Amino acid sequence: MSSVDAPKLGGTGGDEKPHVAFWNDPEKRGYLFQALLFVVVGYLVYAAATNAIDNLTKQKIATGFDFWNNTAGFDIGQRLIPYETTSSYGRAFWVGLVNTLLVAGIGIIFATMLGFIIGVARLSKNFLVNKLAALYVEVIRNTPLLLQLLFWYNAVLKALPEVRDSVAMPGGFFLNNRGLFMPEPVFGANFSWVTWTLAAGLMAYFAYGRWARKKQERTGQQSPVLLVGLGLVILLPLLAFFGAGQPLSFNIPDLGRFNIRGGVQIYPEFVALLMGLVIYTAAFIAEVVRAGIQAVSKGQTEAAYALGLRPGPTLDLVVIPQAMRVIIPPLTSQYLNLTKNSSLAVAVGYPDLVQVFMGTVLNQTGQAVEVIAITMAVYLTISLFTSLVMNWYNSRKALVER
Amino acid sequence: MNTQVVSASSKAYVRQVPAEVLPPPGSLIGPLAWVRDNLFSSPANILLTVVAAFVAYISIPSFLNFLIFDAVWTGADREACIAKNGVVPGACWAFVRERLNFFIYGFYPVDQRWRVDLFFVLGAIGVAWMLWLKAPRRDIGMIYFLVVLPVASYYILGGANWLGLQPVDTARWGGLMVTLVVAGVGIVASLPLGILLALGRRSKLPVIKFFSVLFIEFVRGVPLITVLFMANTMLPLFLPDNITVDKLLRALVGIGLFASAYMAEVVRAGLQALPKGQYEGAMAMGLGYWQMMRLIILPQALKVTIPNIVNTYIGLFKDTSLLLIVGIFDFLKAIETARIDPQWAAPTTSTTGYAFAAIIYFLFCYGMASYARAMERRLSVADKR
């Protein structure tokens, strides 16, 4: 285990290596320790594997991944890809994975927005704003996420009125303890016109933005990017929408005595999980943002003021680009935490990967080793992939530095 | 110019002492100026103040009303907390008061609960000894906290016939006591394991480094729930079938390993923060690897990471709540069980239960966070010298 070079005993000797017993020679001892560790770990793995095979045969549990194509036989409430009770376990896996990615993706977007707002508020010179943000961060960070999830689900969303007493909101929205019911958009025949115009408008907007920036770098003249952008991205698709004869209608939910027909249902499990994740993670992101902004030295702000920039542009052009470099690595780990924490869905019954696959499928098949290995592999893949993407982004940001 | 000064000093009056400093004008000091500076310095700031004041006005009084002023403090069952004359009262603290023992001890036999109290007292002594930096003989405190306390707690809580203590099965342990036991074991086990893993990750021996990196990155890449599920369902499979592992012990193994992977990264950061000269100096003194680590490197590395170590402990403490998902009767599970009891079925029971849980978790976590902050300040003072 030693990293010290072999001591030269006797001192006066030349190139001749002193004679040392092998347990005193760090190099040989290192090999010995490594071989020992290798043998111990290897033995543990071997013993665990043989025991597992032994136990599985005794309990008559099948091994291998054949269960993947067997009929699942259970229903899943929220599904974004087609799934029936007769679908396979493999299909159930994909439904769960998509649900996990959905809640993690939306959660990351909202948590980032809320977190940045709170983080900046935490640095505000306004006493009230500052203290409110601090209160939020302290309370949220010092209570377990699971407790917050259970609170949102059991104490808030389950306490909403029954279906027949649904809260009717303008525009055909209904809120009750089975979730939020919204009008479902029904796209007409020519709706693709609008989509294509929107895509073309977005591309034109980016091209114009590039051109405008080049022009400003060359001549110093600014162009009305925002106005042109609004026209391209909003006005043009709107024109196409009316030109195509308004090919959009809504399937408005219909409130019955015991049920609501039609419309889109947003499940309370999803809302509870999303709220819990967003509110919890935002508190951590706020601290990351605060640390990042504080890491930019005060001289930068003062220099920007000395150049005549007002506080807004100072923040946009000087402070935030430098703070981002400090913010991004810990922000990535917060995104990963949010994704991993979405596995707490199992506590509120949201059908995510863990609830569907490691819960129901594991219980039905009993194939613990395979199911847990697959689930862990998925999370490991997500973690590694996110790290890779963020490292790439980080290196790009870091390149700007001289 | 010189002559002028000389002539002036010889004739005219020149002040020998500086003029007395005048107080700043009234518009710059005092509460009014503070309010103007901090709340109404610009139109945007005024708008922010108004919005923030509105948010505070909406949320804080209703919180206080619910938790204190409209709360029900006494009562024997749900009758006390249901709506009267169409008015739903605030928090149902009567429920918490009646179930308090259940929240703390779970199903631990009533006549044996003094043992749990003894465990709490011994634990509190250990924690105080460790945290109070000027406490006498902290080296003995360390041994007490890391060796004596765990062994004593095992026998006090689990019982042993040769001690005359009636054995209590872990299935009957519950409530805050289980949460504290698990958090305590995690805290005691994760630090040494984390240090070993961190040293392994920085080792120059490739096999040791490989296994350490593999373990740390694997555990940090998956959610705690999957680790707990794995400990719960796969651990029994991996052992010979004549050995059965207690359910609580399985969860402890899972949480301990999980926390030690995070601890390893915290300790590694501390090791990396040390200048290379410290290693070289230790080697030049002729110290071996373990002597170098024990006497030179770790005392310094751990000192600078104390705040981060405490933050990891806070995460660990919050994570113990996940035990309810794998069926361990921890503090949150006690709340979950009690709040759906029909005897206390009232509109505010759930919220009250969660509020109580939040307050307890907050007290522990905020206490640890404050300690970490105080340590940080202390360390930064030491650095500034």
What lies within 8 Å, CB to CB, of B212 at 6+ separation is B197, B198, B200, B201, B203, B264
Tokens encoding B306 = 């104390």
A15 in any annotated domain: no
CA distance to partner chain B, nearest, from residue A239 (Å): 36
- Residue A265 placed within a domain: yes
CB atoms within 10 A of CB B222: 22
Neighboring chain A residues of B240 at a CB cutoff of 8 Å: 51, 54
- Cα angle value A129/A332/B358 (rounded, 5°): 50
Count of other CB atoms within 10 angstroms of residue B48: 19
Of A288, A295, A322, give the one whose Cα is nearest residue A401: A322
Here the tokens at position A362 are: 């594991």
Cβ pairs A/B, distance under 8 A: 167
In chain A, the number of structural domains is: 1
Nearest to B53 among A128, A143, A372 (CB): A128
- Check B241 against A55: CB less than 8 A apart: yes
pLDDT at site B11: 67
Q: Report if residue A394 sits inside a domain.
A: yes
**What does the H/E/C string look like for chain B?**
CHHHHHHHHHHCCCCCCCCCCCCCCCCCCHHHHHHHHHHCCCHHHHHHHHHHHHHHHHHHHHHHHHHHHCCECCCCCHHHCCCECCECCCCEHHHHHHHHHHHHHCCCCHHHHHHHHHHHHHHHHHHHHHHCCCCCCHHHHHHHHHHHHHHHHHHHHHCEHHHCECCCCHHHCCEHHHHHHHHHHHHHHHHHHHHHHHHHHCCCCHHHHHHHHHHHHHHHHCCHHHHHHHHHHHHHHHCCCCCCCCHHHHHHHHHHHHHHHHHHHHHHHHHHHCCHHHHHHHHHCCCCHHHHHHHHHHHHHHHHHHHHHHHHHHHHHHHHHHHHHHCCCEHHHHHHHHHCCHHHCCCCHHHHHHHHHHHHHHHHHHHHHHHHHHHHHHHHHHHHC
- Between B198 and B345, name the one with better pLDDT: B198
Task: Note the pLDDT of residue B176.
Answer: 92
Cβ–Cβ under 8 Å, residues B372 and B307: yes
More confident site: B181 or A13: B181
Which range has the worst mean pLDDT, A161-170, B54-63, B198-207? A161-170
Closest CA to A95 of A366, A329, A350: A350
Chain B residues with beta carbon closer than 8 angstroms to that of A128? 39, 48-49, 52-53, 56
For A372, nearest residue in chain B (alpha carbons):
B230
Residue A358 tokens, joined: 């490691």
Q: What is d(CA B196, CA B268) in angstroms, rounded to the nearest whole number?
A: 10
ipTM, interface predicted TM-score of the complex: 0.87
Tokens 């809302």 belong to: A271
**What pLDDT, on a 0 to 100 scale, did the predictor assign at position A10?**
47
Convert the pLDDT of each residue in A363-393 to its tens digit.
888 888 889 999 999 999 988 888 788 778 7
Query: Where in the sequence is the domain holding A140, given as residue range(s)?
Result: 89-183+252-399
Three-state DSSP at A350 gives coil
What pLDDT, on a 0 to 100 scale, did the predictor assign at position A400? Answer: 55
Q: All domains of chain B, ordered by start, with CATH? A: 71-108+332-385 (no CATH), 111-331 (1.10.3720.10)
A residues 105..124 contacting B (CB < 8 A):
124
Most B CBs within 10 Å: which of A353, A376, A383, A386, as the mutation test of the B interface?
A: A376
Helix (H) or strand (E) holding A174: strand A173-176
Q: In the prediction, which pLDDT does A402 show?
A: 46
**A144 in any annotated domain:** yes
Give A-chain residues touching B183 at CB under 8 angstroms: none
Tell me the pLDDT tens digit for each residue of B293-342.
999 999 888 888 888 899 999 999 999 999 998 888 999 999 999 988 88
Residue in B closest to A61 by C-alpha: B237
Task: Give yes or no for residue B4 having a pLDDT over 90.
Answer: no
Report yes or no on A215 lying in a domain: no
Give every residue of chain A whose pLDDT is below 50, as ranges. 1-4, 6, 8-11, 13, 401-402
| First-to-last C-alpha distance (Å) of chain B | 47
Q: Is residue A54 part of a domain?
A: no
CB atoms B321 and A141 under 8 Å: no
pTM: 0.85
Phi first, then psi, for residue B165 (nearest 5°) are -105, 125
Task: Specify the CATH number for the domain of residue A384.
Answer: 1.10.3720.10
Per the CB < 8 Å rule, is B289 touching A151?
no
CA A138, A139, A142, A148 torsion-angle sign? negative
| Assigned domain for A391 exists | yes
Report the sign of the C-alpha dihedral through residues A345, A347, A348, A351, in that order: positive
Closest partner CB to B207 (pick from A37, A54, A141): A37
d(CA A53, CA B237): 8
Express each pLDDT in B207-234 by its tens digit. 999 999 999 999 999 999 999 988 888 8
* A219 located within any domain: no
Interface test with A, best of B225, B276, B323 (most A CBs within 10 A): B225
